[in-house]
Chains A and B, each alone.
Chain A
C-alpha cells in the first residue's frame, strides 16, 4: 500500500513538472488565466456589494462573514482548479475522439490518470495570494477565530473540494451515455453556482437537500461556518460521510460508464 502511494505520488509529480513546462511555453495563456480569475473574483464581489447595498446581513452571514465566505469560495475554486480543473471535462473529448482507449491500456489506474493528468500550475499563484488574504481577513474579523476553528476548517475545506470534484466528474461521465456531452461544463457551472452563495439564503427542503443529496452547501459554506462560527463536529462528520458516499458514487459511475464505452470514434 505504502509503495503504491509512493508510486502515484511520483507519477503526480511527473504530471506537475510536465504541466509546468507546458504552461511556461504559453506564458500569455498563463497570464490570461490569472486575469480570468481576477475578473471572476471581481464580478462575484461586485454582485454581493450590490446585494449588501439593500441588506445588512444574509441570515447568519454578516457583510464581513460574506467577504470571508467569498475568499473561501475563490480558494476552493482555485485549489480545485489546481488539481482537477483541467481534467474533468477531458473525459468528453477523450470519449468522443476515442483517445480513452490509449489511457485504459496504460499500466496505471485510469481514474487516477484521467483525474490528475493536467495540473493548472497558475492556480498556485492565485492560491498563495488568496491564503494570505484569508489570514488577513480572519485576523481583522470582529470575533476571534481560534486554532480549533482553523483545524476544522482545513478538513472541511478539503472535503468540500472532493465533493466538488465528484459532482463535476459524474457530470462529465454522462458522455458515456450521451455519446457527446459537450455542454457538461455548462451544466456543471450552473449547478456549482449553488455553492457560491452562503447557505443561509436557502430555506426549507431545498436547504436540507443542499446539505445532503445535492451537497453544494458543503463545498464552501460549511468550511466558512467551521471557520467563522462555533465548529460543529456533527456537521463535520456528516460532511465526511457525504464525501465518502460521493467518492464511491463517482467510482461506480465511472465503472458503469466504462462498460458503456464502445470506443466508437477510434
Chain B
C-alpha cells in the first residue's frame, strides 16, 4: 500500500509541477466559469423579470445563481480534455507500451495525471468558492457537515467521471480514434449533468431517467449537498448508490481494458 501511494503520488507531483508551468490556463479557467455564469445570469434574470417570478422550482434568483455557479465549477473539475486526449493518442501511437512492460497501472497512472493536471484549477476554484461564501453567506455550506459532505461527493464525482472517460478511451483499442465520442460525451454532459441548468428544473420524465444513471452524481449531487438541497438523512443512500456506480463503472472499465489490450497490436510504435 505504501509503495502504491509513493509511486502514484510521484506522478501527481510531476503533473502538479507541469500544471504550474502553464498558469495562463488557470486564468482561462476563471474566465470560463465567470463567463458561463454571466450568460446564465442574463437569461434567468430576464425570465424572473418578464414572468414576475420570485421562485422557480423552489429556487430564488440568488439561490439559482449560486447553484449554477457551483455546478459550473464542479463541472469543470470533473471534465477531462487533456488527459483523455493524451490517453487516446497513447493507444493510437503505441505509447501505451511503456505501461505494459512496467509495474504501473494504466488506470491509476492517468487518474493521478488527471488530478495533477487539474490541480491548478482546484486551487483557483477553492479561492473563488471562499469568495462565494463571503458574498452569499448561508447560500452554501450552511453547516460544516455540508462542506465535508461536499468534499466527499466531489471526490466520488471526480472518480466516477474519470472512470466513465476511461471506458470511452479504451474503445480506442478497437476504433483507433475515439475523440469524437469523448467530445460528444462532454457536450451532452454540459447540459444533462446539470452544469448549466439544474437537473431539478428539467421535465419530470427526464429527471426520472436521469435518476437511473450515474450522471446525477457528477454535478447535481455534490452541489445539492453544498447548497443544502438534499436532506442529511438522504445523504447515506445517495452516497451508497454513487459508490456502487463507481464500482460498476470501474469494473466495466477494467473489463473493457483487459479485452482491448488483447486486441492491441502496438502498430503505432
Q: B35 to chain A: which residues have CB within 8 Å?
A: 190-191, 193-194
A197 touches B47 (CB 8 A): no
Least Cβ–Cβ distance between B96 and chain A, in angstroms: 20
Q: How many residues on B have C-beta within 8 angstroms of the other chain's C-beta atoms?
A: 36
B47 touches A55 (CB 8 A): yes
A50 to B22, CA, bound (A): 37
A51 touches B51 (CB 8 A): no
Q: Using an 8 Å CB-CB cutoff, how does the interface string of A171-209 with B read, 1 for contact, 0 for none? A: 000000010111100110011011001001111001000
B104 touches A (CB below 8 Å): no
15 A-B residue contacts at CB 8 Å? A28-B176, A29-B177, A35-B184, A39-B184, A43-B191, A50-B203, A54-B53, A55-B47, A58-B46, A182-B22, A190-B31, A190-B32, A191-B35, A194-B35, A201-B46
A55 touches B187 (CB 8 A): no
B181 touches A201 (CB 8 A): no
8 closest Cβ contacts across the A-B interface? A32-B180, A39-B184, A183-B28, A43-B191, A190-B32, A201-B43, A190-B35, A187-B28
Q: Using an 8 Å CB-CB cutoff, how does the interface string of A42-67 with B read, 1 for contact, 0 for none? A: 01001100110111011100000000
Q: How large is the interface on A (under 10, 10 to 19, 20 to 34, 35 or more residues)?
A: 35 or more
A185 to B103, CA, bound (A): 36
Considering only residues 184-202 of chain B, those with a C-beta below 8 Å from chain A are 184, 187-188, 190-192, 196-197, 201-202
Q: B196 to chain A: which residues have CB within 8 Å?
A: 47
A40 touches B (CB below 8 Å): yes
Q: B176 to chain A: which residues have CB within 8 Å?
A: 28
Least Cβ–Cβ distance between B177 and chain A, in angstroms: 6
Interface majority SS on A: helix, strand, loop or mixed?
Answer: helix
A43 touches B28 (CB 8 A): no
Residue of A nearest to B32 (CB): A190
Q: B187 to chain A: which residues have CB within 8 Å?
A: 36, 39-40, 43
Residue of A nearest to B26 (CB): A183
A135 to B197, CA, bound (A): 30
Residue of A nearest to B201 (CB): A50
With A47-B196, A194-B39 as given contacts, are A36 and B183 in contact (CB-CB < 8 Å)?
yes
B208 touches A (CB below 8 Å): no
- A55-B51, A191-B35 are known; give 10 further A-B pairs, CB within 8 A: A28-B177, A32-B179, A35-B184, A43-B192, A47-B196, A51-B47, A54-B53, A181-B24, A193-B39, A197-B39
A197 to B175, CA, bound (A): 36
B50 touches A (CB below 8 Å): yes
- Cβ 8 A contact of A186, one of B32, B56, B177, B180: B32
A47 to B197, CA, bound (A): 8
Q: A191 to chain B: which residues have CB within 8 Å?
A: 35
A36 to B187, CA, bound (A): 8
Residue of A nearest to B21 (CB): A180
A55 to B50, CA, bound (A): 8
Q: Using an 8 Å CB-CB cutoff, how does the interface string of A24-44 with B read, 1 for contact, 0 for none? A: 001011001101100110010
A203 to B39, CA, bound (A): 11
A123 to B211, CA, bound (A): 35
B24 touches A183 (CB 8 A): yes
B42 touches A (CB below 8 Å): yes
Q: B90 to chain A: which residues have CB within 8 Å?
A: none
- Cβ 8 A contact of A26, one of B31, B39, B177: B177
Residue of B nearest to A191 (CB): B35
A197 touches B43 (CB 8 A): yes
B36 touches A (CB below 8 Å): yes
B25 touches A (CB below 8 Å): yes
Q: B190 to chain A: which residues have CB within 8 Å?
A: 43
Least Cβ–Cβ distance between B156 and chain A, in angstroms: 24
A47 to B175, CA, bound (A): 31
B36 touches A193 (CB 8 A): yes
Q: B188 to chain A: which residues have CB within 8 Å?
A: 39, 43
B46 touches A187 (CB 8 A): no
Q: A39 to chain B: which residues have CB within 8 Å?
A: 184, 187-188
